[in-house]
Amino acid sequence: MNEKAKTKKVSKKTIALIGLALLLVISATMATLAWLTAHDVKENIFTVGDFNEPDPDNPTDPTDPTDPTDPDNPEIDPTNPSNPPGNLDPDKLTGHIYEKNWVEGSKLLPDNDIAKDPQIGMGPGSEDSYVYVYVKNNLDDNNKEDIYFTLNTEKWEEVNGCVQKVTGMDNTYYGGIFRYRGDSNANDGILAGHEKINVWTPTVFDKVHVSGTATAATLKPAAGTGGSKVTVECFLHQVKDGKGNVIDAGEILAAAKTAFQVQ
């Protein structure tokens, strides 16, 4: 065999060996890469924003505690009209609505006042809120003005076009939607939440009055609506969206009307 043929044969063998070595290296690398993986899991636990119902055993005044040296356990300020003094009576608390002086089964008598003093509250840890209430009675349409109330206009205002006023009487209504003006003098409409204690609006009104011209017949409920009653509903809505922007008032009112089933 001549030198040229030997050289060619050796070269082919060398190339084959180099190719095999490269394949082994690539295979080993690929095998190694197949095992170079990572997998991580991290769970983030979130708290959910909400409007918690007031706690009957929790102090209620976050703004003016009578014991400023103990901010984690402030006592009640019984002189503050916007907060029910003392612990709440659970029998007079329905969700977010509290009526301290209401007596179940109070009688409707002509020219008579009946204690009914709704306040709207939120429990500890609640978000800031806009607050609306809807008041109605279930008397026959022709007699609805026989039970009426005077709005606490210092802290509540009517929603234009959504109220039923008593003829010839200022700030006096027998039904409608009303908006809380807010905690501050700015009338921003906000009931501010508090981490540790209940917060309350002032009363929407303090009593209902039965007209002096009412009779047993006019005070009867409309057919199919049960016993004679005055109903108070409340609606709370968050103040800002997820980006921190204040939510449009028209959008909130529309949501309130939907909740109250009012056109």
What is the mean predicted confidence (pLDDT) over 27-45? 49
Average pLDDT score over residue span 187-204: 88
- Given a cut of 80, whether residue 5 has pLDDT beyond it is no
Amino acid at 197: I
pLDDT of residue 195: 86
Rounded CA-CA distance 240/245 in Å is 5
- Radius of gyration of the CA atoms of the chain, in A: 35
The winner for highest mean pLDDT among 11-15, 71-75, 184-188, 221-225 is: 221-225
For residue 123, pLDDT over 50 is answered with yes
Q: Does residue 15 surpass a pLDDT of 80?
A: no
Instruction: Please tell me the predicted confidence (pLDDT) of residue 111.
Output: 93
CA 76, CA 72: separation in Å to the nearest integer? Answer: 13
Q: What's the pTM?
A: 0.74
- What's the pLDDT at 89? 83
At 73-117, the pLDDT tens digits run: 444 343 344 455 456 788 888 888 999 898 888 888 899 999 999
- For residue 210, how many other CB atoms are within 10 A of its CB? 19
Nearest Cα residue to 204 out of 233, 184, 227: 233
Q: Report residue 67's pLDDT band, with 50, 70 and 90 as the boundaries.
A: very low
Q: Which amino acid makes up residue 160?
A: N
The pLDDT confidence band at residue 53, using thresholds 50, 70 and 90, is confident
DSSP letter at 230 equals E
CA distance 105 to 94: 16
Q: Within a 10 A sphere around the Cβ of 97, how many other Cβ atoms?
A: 18
Average pLDDT score, the chain: 78
Q: Which two tokens stand for residue 19?
A: 């190719």
pLDDT at 36: 59
SS3 226: coil
